[in-house]
Amino acid sequence: MRLTVTRKIALAVIGTVIVSLGTLAWLASQNLQRGFIEYLNEGQTVELEQLRDLLADAYRERGNFEWLRHNPRAMREFFDRIRPRPQPPEGRRPPPGRPGPDGLPPPHERPPADPMNIGPRLTLLDADGSPVLGPPDVADGITRAITVNGRTVGTLVLRPLRQIGGASGSAFVRGQIRDLAWLAAVLVLLSTALAVALARHMLRPVAALRDVTQRIAQGGLDARAPVLGRDELAELARHVNAMAAALEADERQRRQMLADVAHELRTPLTVIRGEIEALLDGIRQADPAALQSLHTEALHLNKLIDDLHQLALADAGALHYHFAPVDMTGVVGQVVQRYYARAQAARLSLEADLTSASVWINADAGRLIQVVTNLLENSVRYTDPGGRIAVRLTAGDRQAELCIEDTEPGVPDGAHARLFERLYRVDQARTRERGGSGLGLAICRTLVEAHGGTIAALPSALGGVKIVVRIPLLPT
């Protein structure tokens, strides 16, 4: 039989209950016997005092204890007075019988036997300390002095009970222990049923999680586990669901990216193929214009492959950085200076508002130049002619902030966050015409986050898009 988790939990609970109940029953039986013995000893102490008074009266009548010396049968009368024999109701008493051969009354008229076994433990000492009746070893007994007219004429010594004697006392204790055993057995059965039910209840979410993870492992990324309750298992189910959702989103993005990459690669290759076939068929002459067209498509294809390579290196953690203190003001100013002519050729106005003070950050200067270049290239490429591009660099208490915004066209509401997705385009046809690969902003986000910074796209007050880059300053 396979030991499932349910059986293990049930067996653990049952074993714990059995050990606990067994220990409790053993302690209860020991305490019961000890308490019962103490109770009997207390009761016999009272009887010992009654017996002392009876022996004192007998001493007054007879003047000594010689009639008791080595005559234990004579004590029956006193035991009978302490514990009178129950008499049957009137009219049911048997007629008096004749004494038996031993001179004793018939059995139904005899005083009761010593039920608490006092006789063998009782010792009577005379005034000189000599034993009159009973064993001489009285070192640890309970003593009661017998006084007559203010003079001690003897001493009663009763050794306490060490174990339960007598049929009635033993039967009582056995009955109590038997009841305890039955109660323990019933509790064990109840605990077994409760342990099995509890184990099944506790592991029901685990079974659901097992099925869900198995489906996820087999490719069913849409599988979700039910969230039952608010305990640790429910939290685990939420984490499994979040993991499945992330895997599903990654798989969807991977498939979309593969389709987009195939589409992006197909476009320049189709153009190059068409140009070459036209040249081979003699439809087009191999003039500088045709060669320039082929060169442009090859550059576009090479740029797309380089961007994909950088993103693959970043995902694998193999993109290397050489961090050092860098003046961000100088880097941004250098890139902006290069783009004045580029913006003028695109009939755009490029404005730069850079702080006069140095803004020191811990950065890779080459990667930082790549970020600023990509952002300015996007603005120059996608801003309508006659528009404006504004670049602003400020330094706060803990971070430098670079803001690049442009005029129309903007992007629809809700699409700003998606600009950093790989191969995402707001207008597929128009963007491709302008030569974009849809990977520039994704690369910028990867590089900025590697510098411990953040990058965000927001609507611009100028009508276009506003890109905000924040990078921590070097501590002063």
Q: Based on the domain organization, do 237 and 336 belong to the same domain?
A: no
pLDDT block averages, 10 residues each, the chain of length 476: 65 79 78 76 79 85 80 72 58 53 51 55 80 75 85 84 62 75 82 79 77 84 80 82 86 74 71 81 79 77 74 71 88 88 88 84 88 88 89 87 89 79 60 57 86 89 89 84
Q: Based on the domain organization, do 117 and 247 belong to the same domain?
A: no
Let me know if residue 407 belongs to a domain. Answer: yes
Let me know if residue 189 belongs to a domain. Answer: no
Let me know if residue 183 belongs to a domain. Answer: no
Q: Cβ(264)–Cβ(304) under 8 Å? A: yes
Let me know if residue 376 belongs to a domain. Answer: yes
Q: Based on the domain organization, do 74 and 26 belong to the same domain?
A: yes
Where residue 237 sits, what CATH number does that domain have?
Answer: 1.10.287.130
Question: Element (H or E) spanning 365, and its range?
Answer: helix 365-382
Instruction: Give the separation between CA 346 and CA 461, rounded to whole angstroms.
Output: 21
pTM for the full predicted model? 0.49
Let me know if residue 278 belongs to a domain. Answer: yes
Domain end residue (candidates: 284, 316, 348) = 316
Q: Based on the domain organization, do 294 and 336 belong to the same domain?
A: no
Q: Based on the domain organization, do 404 and 328 belong to the same domain?
A: yes
Instruction: Give the separation between CA 209 and CA 219, rounded to whole angstroms.
Output: 15
Cβ partners under 8 Å of residue 275, min gap 6:
284, 290, 293, 294, 297
> CA 50, 54, 59 angle in degrees (round to 5)?
145
Q: Based on the domain organization, do 312 and 333 belong to the same domain?
A: no
* 367 burial via Cβ count (<10 Å: 0-12, 13-18, 19+): buried
Q: Based on the domain organization, do 290 and 155 belong to the same domain?
A: no
At residue 224, what are phi and psi to the nearest 5 degrees? -135, 140
The pLDDT of residue 403 is: 92
Q: Residue 374 carries which DSSP code?
A: H
Q: Based on the domain organization, do 265 and 348 belong to the same domain?
A: no
Cβ partners under 8 Å of residue 407, min gap 6:
383, 384, 387, 388, 389, 460, 462, 463, 464
Q: How many structural domains does the chain have?
A: 3
Q: Cβ(216)–Cβ(222) under 8 Å? A: no
Taking only Cα atoms into account, the Rg of the chain, rounded to an integer number of angstroms, comes to: 53
Q: Based on the domain organization, do 302 and 391 belong to the same domain?
A: no
Let me know if residue 83 belongs to a domain. Answer: yes
Write out the residue range of the structural domain in which residue 13 sits: 5-89+99-167
Parallel, antiparallel or unpaired: strands 399-407 and 463-472: antiparallel
Let me know if residue 186 belongs to a domain. Answer: no
Domain end residue (candidates: 259, 291, 316) = 316
Instruction: Give the separation between CA 158 and CA 17, rounded to whole angstroms.
Output: 43
Q: Based on the domain organization, do 14 and 139 belong to the same domain?
A: yes
Domain end residue (candidates: 316, 338, 363) = 316
Q: Based on the domain organization, do 35 and 72 belong to the same domain?
A: yes
Instruction: Give the separation between CA 427 and CA 406, rounded to whole angstroms.
Output: 17
Q: Based on the domain organization, do 347 and 381 belong to the same domain?
A: yes
Closest of 470, 378, 363 to residue 420, by C-alpha: 378
Strand, helix or coil for residue 447: helix
Q: Cβ(468)–Cβ(456) under 8 Å? A: yes
Strand, helix or coil for residue 400: strand
At position 272, the amino acid (one-letter code) is I
Sign of CA dihedral 80, 81, 84, 90: positive
Closest of 164, 134, 183, 167 to residue 39, by C-alpha: 164
The tokens describing 451, both together, are 């510098």
Let me know if residue 214 belongs to a domain. Answer: no
The pLDDT of residue 325 is: 92
